[in-house]
Structure 1
Amino acid sequence: MTAAKMVAEARKTLGMSGRPNAITREYASRHGDEYLLAPWCDMAVTYWARHSGNAKAVLPGGDRAYTPWHAQDFRRIGRWHSGTVSSVNAAKPGDIVFYDWGGTESIDAIDHAGVVEFSLGGGRLQTIEGNTDDAVKRRIRAAGVIAGYGRPAYDDWTESMVRNLPTLARGATGEDVQTVQGLLLARSHPEVSISGMFDATTEEAVKAVQRWGGVEDDGIVGPMTWPVLLRVQDSMESGAW
């Protein structure tokens, strides 16, 4: 299961339009003919997940056509992220994004869904969405209409590696601390030196990265912070964080 396969499957359907279509027909074949002409943005997400081998990760509650229930699935398993600018900046390709055209972050008010293709910075995402003008299209969306997003448990290299990385906090020493400090330097934090000692300067730099990445700024490098630190290429393109 990988995010890249999920996005690739969504790209294959770009330009599909009208209904019934291949997406609504497949969903209706499992759940009833009433879905043939129903709004199909989340049916599209279901279709991409199933056809890319990502159903377990993307559909933790099973097939979804009703977007609030899908978002609730992610919240229930602790993989829901809010629609704040800092949180949206931390979105990754393959995340499932949900919108409220009324501009709230309320799951109950969600109107629409899609998959993240790229994070553009500045609280903006490039997405692929079904049922947008009754077609599959690319869109650029801003945090103002993003209620939040779910992060599927893809088996990508970062998640596999993070499972084996230690939790580090102020006072820790050793090679793993040196790794953290090297990543902080790559994040444009020249005040940090690669000493192997998790000191106050390192802690403050970690907190700055956490705030940018939309995770709790507790200064502890654990399962939520390692993936943010490991997105080194993004820092070079978007500036310090």
Structure 2
Amino acid sequence: MRTLLGLGEPNHVQRWYQGRNGADYAGNPPWCDEAITWAAAHSQDPGDYKAVCPKGDRAYTVYHAQDYQRLGEWHIGTADQVHQAMPGDIVFFDWSGSNDLGAVDHVGICEVNLGGGLLQTIEGNTSDACKRRVRDASVIAGFGRPPYRNGPAPTPPKPGKAPRWPGRFITQPPIMTGPDVRQWQQRIRDRGWKITVDGAYGPNSEAICRAFQREKGLQVDGVIGPDTWRAAWASPVT
């Protein structure tokens, strides 16, 4: 979804959705849920599409919300529930302020839970573009929790500030997996390295780790220890 930030309309997401689902979606239709579907289908983890779109492509937000309800992954958008939302959750909105699935009229993805009942989201088709927004329970009808294979996406740290080292030396063999691997891969990718963000520390991740260590003057061992972890966040990404 971050790759869509700033996208206006009409756009390639709408054309892509029309190509998959027919002429009924031609022109400049509402595309907030089309953007969620597009992002899931273009994720580097092929399992994300099934997690986010369990019943297939969705452009109608009500049907998408109902998909999560049927799977038991629906969380109502009351104040005491919103604080439990995680990055990667799919957030559904009702501008009239209800928590009725049948009244849902907009959707985005949770990027950061800011606390205090506030979520930072990325949404398509908001003021005719894809933008970051901050929303609260007054307009959140609820959120669905996709069963991502690697768990929820980590909350992005503030620029230049390293998140806490996960407490284990990430190396291979055997191939190590987990959200901490995915978090490090995403940060390295944000820095411009061509790395697959799949949550699995395989040979390519190790090779990039070694190149990164050489660049930073660290011990070149292909192991993500505390020094290599901190170095990934030592300066802001430009």
Q: Does 1:121 align with 2:111?
A: no
Hey, what does 2:14 align to over in structure 1? 24
Hey, what does 2:30 align to over in structure 1? 39
Match of 1:79 among 35, 56, 73: 73
Hey, what does 2:40 align to over in structure 1? 49
- Partner AA of 1:14 in structure 2: L
TM-score, normalised to structure 2, is: 0.61
Hey, what does 2:181 align to over in structure 1? none
- Partner AA of 1:96 in structure 2: I
Give the drift of 1:157.
5.0
Give % identity.
55
Distance 2:77 2:151 in 1: 25
Could you list the per-position Cα deviations for residues 15-56 of structure 1 after superposition, in whole angstroms to 9, with x for gaps in the alignment? 01011x110000000111332311000000000000003111
Match of 1:91 among 79, 85, 96: 85
Distance 2:151 2:138 in 1: 31
CA RMSD of aligned residues (A): 1.4
Distance 2:151 2:111 in 1: 18
- Tell me the SS of whatever aligns to 2:129: coil
Distance 1:22 1:87 in 2: 35
Q: Which runs of 4+ in 1 moved over 4 A?
A: none
- Tell me the SS of whatever aligns to 1:129: strand
Could you list the per-position Cα deviations for residues 91-141 of structure 1 after superposition, in whole angstroms to 9, with x for gaps in the alignment? 000000000000000000001000000001111100000000111000000
Q: Does 1:145 align with 2:139?
A: yes
Match of 1:66 among 60, 73, 83: 60
5+ residue gaps, structure 2: 153-238
- Tell me the SS of whatever aligns to 1:44: helix
- Tell me the SS of whatever aligns to 1:114: strand
5+ residue gaps, structure 1: 1-9, 159-241
- Tell me the SS of whatever aligns to 1:70: helix
TM-score, normalised to structure 1, is: 0.60
- Partner AA of 1:26 in structure 2: W
Hey, what does 1:106 align to over in structure 2? 100
